[in-house]
C-alpha cells in the first residue's frame, strides 16, 4: 500500500466522521448568500452537467442539498424498450460485479465481504441470495446524478435500516478497509418479482448528509419513509408490502455521493458479458437480459 493511501486510511479512522457529516449536512442546507457561494463552487469544482437537469439555473435550487438531489429532465435516462432487461439503478462507476458464491461478494482485489454481515444477520433478507445469484456495486461520485431508480418491476417485501460507520467508499478505502460495506450505515430493500428476488442496498458514507427512500403508499402518493419500518438497529426486520413498483420508478436518493449494491437471485439472468469492472453506467443502461419476459 502506498504511503499516501495508508495516511488517508489512518486519518479516516481518527476523524469524527458522523460529526463531520452532520456539520456538512447543516452547511449544505444553508440559504442566502452561503447557498449561492456553495452551489457555484460545487458546480465549478465537479463540472456538474446542468444541461440534463430539470431546472438548469442554480438560483432555482434553494440550497446545496437541492443541487445534490436534482432531478433530470424527462427525456434523459430512458428505460429500455425490452421489458426483460434489468437496468442500472444509478449513475456511476461499476466498482465491482460478479457472482455471489458461498454468500461471499468481492469488495476489492483480494478482499471479500459476507452477505449475512451485509444484511446485519437478517436471514430473511439473506435467504433469496444464499444459493447464489449476482451482485453489482455502483459508486456514485459527487458529480453524479444522486437519485436511485428501480432496476426491474418488483414488489417490496422486506426493508431494514442498519446503523454503522461513515467511512468514505472511494477506491482507496474499499481497497484498504475490510468489510467496509458491512461497517457503514445502510438501507436494505428487498423486492420480489414472481419467483425472482432482487435487493437494493443504499450504503452511506462520510459527508453523505442522508439517505432518503421514496415508496408508493397504499393511497398512491409517495412517502419519504418506509411505511411500518422502525428506523432503529434494535428493531427486528419488519416486512412491508407495496403494490408493484415499475422499472425506472424513483426509489430514493443520496445527499452527496455514495454506493448502491444491487443483488439478484439465482433465477435472475447473469450480467451482460460486455460489462466490466470500472465501466461507467447510467440509470436505464442494460445490466442483464432475462430469458423469461416479465
Q: Quote the crossing angle between the two packed helices 33-46 and 17-28, to the nearest 10°.
A: 110
Among residues 88, 258, 265, 290, the one annotated as catalytic is 258
Let me know if 5 is a catalytic residue: no
Active site residue 82: no
Q: Are 90 and 253 in contact (CB under 8 A)?
A: no
274 is written with which cell numbers?
Answer: 460486455
3-class SS at 289? strand
59: left (phi over 0), alpha (psi -120 to 50) or beta: alpha
Q: Which residues pair with 211 in a beta bridge?
A: 254
290 as an active site residue: the answer is no
Spell out the residues 6+ positions from residue 125 whose beta carbon is closer than 8 angstroms to its own.
119, 158, 160, 188, 190, 199, 237
CA 159/CA 221 separation, integer angstroms: 19
C-alpha 176/C-alpha 244 separation (Å) is 39
User: Beta partners for 97?
Assistant: 136
From 63, 91, 136, 146, active-site residue: 91
Distance of CA 255 to the CA centre of its chain: 11
From the list 146, 149, 265, 285, the catalytic residue is 149
Q: Which of 159, 154, 142 is nearest to 249 (CA)?
A: 154
What are the residue numbers of the active site?
91, 149, 258
Amino acid at each position: 500500500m502506498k504511503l499516501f493511501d495508508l495516511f488517508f486510511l489512518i486519518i479516516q479512522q481518527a476523524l469524527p466522521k458522523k460529526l463531520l457529516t452532520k456539520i456538512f449536512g447543516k452547511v449544505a442546507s444553508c440559504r442566502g448568500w452561503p447557498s449561492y457561494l456553495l452551489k457555484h463552487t460545487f458546480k465549478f469544482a465537479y463540472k456538474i452537467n446542468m444541461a440534463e437537469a430539470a431546472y438548469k439555473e442554480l438560483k432555482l435550487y434553494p440550497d446545496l442539498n437541492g443541487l445534490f438531489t436534482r432531478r433530470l429532465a424527462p427525456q434523459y435516462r430512458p428505460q429500455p424498450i425490452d421489458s426483460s432487461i434489468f437496468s442500472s439503478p444509478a449513475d456511476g462507476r461499476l466498482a465491482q460485479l460478479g457472482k455471489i458464491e458461498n454468500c461471499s461478494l468481492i469488495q476489492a482485489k483480494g478482499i471479500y465481504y459476507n452477505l449475512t454481515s451485509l444484511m446485519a444477520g437478517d436471514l430473511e433478507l439473506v435467504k433469496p441470495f444464499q444459493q447464489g445469484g449476482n451482485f453489482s456495486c455502483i459508486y456514485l461520485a459527487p458529480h453524479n446524478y444522486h437519485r436511485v431508480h428501480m432496476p426491474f418491476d418488483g414488489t417490496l417485501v422486506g426493508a431494514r435500516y442498519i446503523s454503522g460507520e461513515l467511512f468514505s467508499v472511494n477506491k482507496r478505502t474499499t481497497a484498504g478497509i475490510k468489510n467496509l460495506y458491512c461497517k457503514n450505515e445502510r438501507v436494505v430493500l428487498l423486492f420480489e418479482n414472481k419467483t425472482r428476488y432482487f435487493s437494493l442496498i443504499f450504503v452511506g458514507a462520510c459527508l453523505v448528509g442522508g439517505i432518503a427512500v421514496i415508496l408508493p403508499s397504499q393511497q398512491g402518493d409517495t412517502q419519504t419513509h418506509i411505511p411500518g419500518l422502525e428506523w432503529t438497529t434494535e428493531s427486528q426486520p419488519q416486512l412491508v408490502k407495496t403494490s408493484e413498483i415499475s422499472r425506472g420508478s424513483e426509489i430514493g436518493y443520496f445527499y452527496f455521493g455514495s454506493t448502491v449494491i444491487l443483488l439478484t437471485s439465482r433465477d435472475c439472468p447473469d450480467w451482460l458479458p460486455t460489462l466490466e469492472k470500472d465501466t461507467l453506467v447510467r440509470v436505464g443502461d442494460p445490466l442483464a437480459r432475462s430469458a423469461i419476459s416479465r
